[in-house]
Amino acid sequence: MPPRRRKTSNNEPGSSTSNNVPETSNGHAVHYEPSETSPLQRRQKQEYYEQQSRLLQLYEKDRRLYESKEEQGGDEDREDGLLLHCCLALTIFSLIGNLIASILSGSLSILRLEYVGILICAILMAFANVAMAMQAFNNIADESSKPEMTFVTTVIVGVQTVLKGLLSWICYRRGSPSSIVVAMDLRNDVVTRISAVVFAYIGDEYWRLADPIGAILLCSLIALSWFRHALEYIPHLVGKRAEQEQLSRILKIAIDHDPRIRCLDHVMVYHTGEKAFVELHVVMDEKLTLKVTHDVCHPLEKKLQRLEFVERAFVHCDYCCDGD
């Protein structure tokens, strides 16, 4: 005869079972072994939930975008264009000011080349800064070269720094992808200008080699930055698959667009530039008329093209899911 099990009471002295431990129907306490998870698993789980939360927020953002009746894309493009024109005007002003400041002071740290392009110009700018660094090496060997920081030079560089800092803040507040890129470049330019003034002042007042050494450091960092910038854009120009998050947003819009869309036969999202192209094959009933299929597919194209990362969208209607 098996021994009788003694029921464990939560209120019994010496009992290790707490009040929040569940019991079975016959009154026995149920003990659970705590699941042991490694720090890596906890971090991966947290990243997964954060990604899903961000994706849901993007879904809601997309829904509000294509449900709104106002066309916001044109206004955003005009505002971005205005910021880019302001940046171009400030760049031209800075280039002239840098030339005057360089002639007056003889400092190499102040004369740095500006942002004029994305890929080809990035490579040219990188090699130009390498050439500036080589010139700085020559100035180290030339003991007669010495920068002279005048009041006019300081004022020119100071005004440029303040204007670029203000424009960078405006671009960051704007928040669009193109304005963020401009803001990052302006922010880097402000930092390098402040460093250039410091090196030039030290070279003028205390140590002659501070200015060419500062020019070498600044030009090397700028050249590496431009090379990295060029490498980031090369995959977009030769062809690159879009991010998984962007693909999920497109699939969500296509699935929720119209109940007459039975399934998606083919989806391709790829970059040949800054923005992506979307190719989408939707499957509908073969008995539907051309007018109906057009009235379903054309608005879907318009929805997809309103996404900030989409350049063009092509929606093709098919009657069978054959993967072609």
- For 239, residues 6+ apart whose C-beta sits below 8 A from its C-beta are 270, 271, 272
Cα 269-272-275 angle, rounded to 5 deg: 65
Give the CA-trace dihedral at 166, 170, 172, 174, to 10 degrees: -170
**What DSSP line would sit under 43-106, residue for residue?**
HHHHHHHHHHHHHHHHHHHHHHHHH--S--HHHHHHHHHHHHHHHHHHHHHHHHHHHHHHHHH-
Span 206-248, pLDDT tens digits:
777 777 777 777 777 777 776 776 677 677 667 788 888 889 9
Sequence ranges of the chain with CATH classification 3.30.70.1350: 241-318
Name the nearest CA neighbour of 166 among 189, 140, 135, 134: 189
Look at residue 153 and give its three-state secondary structure: helix
Q: Which pair of structure tokens corresponds to residue 154?
A: 């300081």
**pLDDT at residue 16 greater than cutoff 50:** no
* This prediction's pTM: 0.49
Across all residues in the chain, what is the average pLDDT? 71
**pLDDT at residue 107 greater than cutoff 80:** no
Name the nearest CA neighbour of 168 among 147, 193, 141: 193
Span 59-68, pLDDT tens digits:
887 777 767 7
Select the more confidently predicted residue: 41 or 113.
41
Q: Residues, the chain, total?
A: 324
Look at residue 122 and give its three-state secondary structure: helix
- Banded model confidence at residue 24, pLDDT cuts 50, 70, 90: very low
Angstrom distance (rounded) from CA 212 to CA 31: 72
Q: Are strands 263-271 and 276-283 parallel, antiparallel or unpaired?
A: antiparallel
Q: What is the model's pLDDT at position 19?
A: 46
For the domain 241-318, what is the CATH superfamily, name and number? Cation efflux protein, cytoplasmic domain (3.30.70.1350)
**pLDDT at residue 292 greater than cutoff 90:** yes
- Banded model confidence at residue 283, pLDDT cuts 50, 70, 90: very high
